[in-house]
Amino acid sequence: MRQSHKIILASLVLGCVVACANLVPRKGWSPDQGPVVPHDTFPADCSLCHESGSWNKIKADFSFDHEKETGVKLNGAHDTAQCLLCHNDRGPVKQFAEKGCRGCHEDVHRGQLGALCQQCHNEDTWRPLQSIAEHARTRFPLIGGHAAVDCTSCHPNASDGVFVNASIECEACHAKDVTRSPSVDHIALGLTQGCNRCHTPVSWTPASFVHPASFPLTAGHGGVNCNSCHTTPGVFTGLSTDCVSCHLPNFQATTNPNHVAAGFSTNCKTCHNTAGWQGANFIHPASFPLTNGHSAQACNACHTTPGVYSGLSTSCVSCHLPQYQATTNPNHASAGFSTDCQTCHSTVAWPNATFNHPASFPLSNGHSGRTCVSCHTTPGVWTGLSTSCVSCHLPQYQATTAPNHAASGFSTDCTTCHTTSTWLGASFNHPATFPLSNGHAGRACNACHTTPGVYTGLSTTCVSCHLPEYQATTNPNHAAAGLSTDCKTCHNTTAWPGANFNHPASFPLTQAHAGRTCSQCHTTPGVYTGLSTSCVSCHLAKYQATTNPNHTAAGFPTSCQTCHTPTLWTNGTFNHPSTFPLTNAHAVPPCSRCHTTPNVFTGLTPTCLNCHRDDFQRGHNSQGNSNCKACHNTRTWN
């Protein structure tokens, strides 16, 4: 037990002894019942707590578990409070506990804040908690500097528990602050109400005044003292919003360029902004925008006559005629080039002009990037050249030997095979009557066109090239077997070996029949026609060798497909006659289970008694209905 509890319990004992004379007797008490004791609900064994030698001494090993003994757990400050604060002569504790906090704690708020004390207080401390958060539930949340102010600053009667009827208007508390402003006479300007227009609860100073939207204080205008613009003391309205009303001296003093002499507009924001007065940005007229190389030039670089900024021509040559006349590669003047400079030049850079060749002969790929004189070999002549390839490339046409274009009579229309990407590696589109696909593609022309210089008149039949392969094939021997010389029946251009022969539809090769060599069925060499399509023509040996059941002895038909499929010869599936379908338990036994006479599979009667007579006699002593199906089914006999 804690030492503090020992002291508390000692105080309890002493207090109870003193108070015994004033204790109110229990209900129903009479003098013959003895004196009233302070612990009338405690155990009668006093030695549990007191020492026998002294009534005022509590045992050193004394321990009292309030929750265990009374059923009430003491939390926070209640756990360390003196017992007599609750257990005294005012009456039973239960009487006060039923009133809640107000049973022991006086309500200094006089009921104005409700009966739920725990909204602001807790058992750790009686001091108010979350008062700022609770105040937010009122019309005046405590934010900024208001959160640190003592309650009595706004609620003068707070000590008496009176918190109502306090004004939420700023001037109710800040009336004296209105008269203290050193820079703005609030009273003279009528600024005695609505403090929150300029001030905030965070800090009373400095005030933040939002200038009217008709003239917002941005960039350089922001942070300027009020009297810098409002020069008449106490006058803050009626000023012009025109820039020149303040900046006329700047307008008149500017010499580069001279605004007054040049007749510039006094609307300063045409070039200036509030970010900075210097470095004005003049938007040149849309009829001649200053882009790239034209931008960043000093005004007098183009406007050479002092003070004259209008009436100049917008044509390039009005400034760039010297460059036009001095150009020699090519010579613009002698070649009669247009003086419309933007045809080839741009404002990005004067050198490295880009000339757009006429659409009748666009310069693409290998044609682009060449100097003009590579094609225009006659000096100063830039028109009248032929657009046909051969007009430039006749030497290449005549010099080509693989194949020889001239000897072969090839067309001089180079675009048939060549492109501007590269002259070499021409792509010839073979006639659509014989497209070069797969294995035919990528071969040299003379691989098929063996007669030099002859590229027409060849047959398009496969055998015209592949007769040697046809004659040399032995598996199977195409010539001996009389197979068609129409190679594409089995072969394709992807690969010559591994031909795919489509067996006649009268006997398609499916499942186990597929993938076999021809000679497995066509056993007579070179004979691939005339074979029977009946199964038994190949599988007679298997028919005769079968013993379970013996197909021959049983007289089974030789139409194998009745029970077998091409998927697998073994595991044939026999469909029992519909007069006696094999269902459930009948489907499991072997044939000999019912067909007991070897190799006899016909003539059995379909009645149940034919097989189950012994079961009938054992179960019914030969009496009763012999129609087994009346009671039994094929799932189970029982």
Tokens representing 153 are 């600053």
DSSP 8-state class, residue 164: -
Give the pLDDT of residue 90.
Answer: 67
Query: Which pLDDT does position 393 carry in this prediction?
Result: 92
What local confidence, expressed as pLDDT, does residue 321 receive?
92
Low-confidence ranges of the chain (pLDDT < 50): 1-38
Q: Where are the chain's structural domains?
A: 3-98, 606-638
pLDDT in tens, 229-261: 888 877 777 888 898 988 999 999 988 788 888
455 in Cβ contact with 403 (< 8 Å): yes
Q: DSSP readout, 234-301?
A: T--S-----THHHHHHHHHH-BTTBTTTTT--S-GGGT-BTTBSSS------TTS---GGGTT--GGG
Can you tell me the distance from the alpha carbon of 475 to that of 522, in angstroms, rounded to the nearest whole number? Answer: 12
**Which pLDDT value is given to residue 2?**
41
Structure tokens at 142: 């405590």
**Residue the block writes with tokens 């087994």:** 628
> What's the confidence (pLDDT) of residue 31?
40
At 291, list the tokens: 């882009």
The answer to whether 419 and 365 are in contact (CB under 8 A) is: yes
Calpha distance 130→123 (Å, rounded):
14
What is the helix, strand, coil percentage profile of the chain, to 5?
35, 0, 65
pLDDT at 43: 67
List residues bridging with 331 in a β-sheet.
328
For residue 546, the SS3 value is: coil
Two structure tokens written together for 382: 């830039």
Place of tokens 């208007």: 169
Structure tokens at 423: 């002259």
**39-47, long-range: CB < 8 A, 24+ apart:** none
Q: pLDDT tens for residues 398-453?
A: 998 878 888 888 889 998 888 888 888 787 888 888 988 888 988 888 888 888 87
**Confidence (pTM):** 0.34
Under DSSP, is residue 539 helix (H, G, I), strand (E, B) or coil?
helix
Residue 40 pLDDT: 56
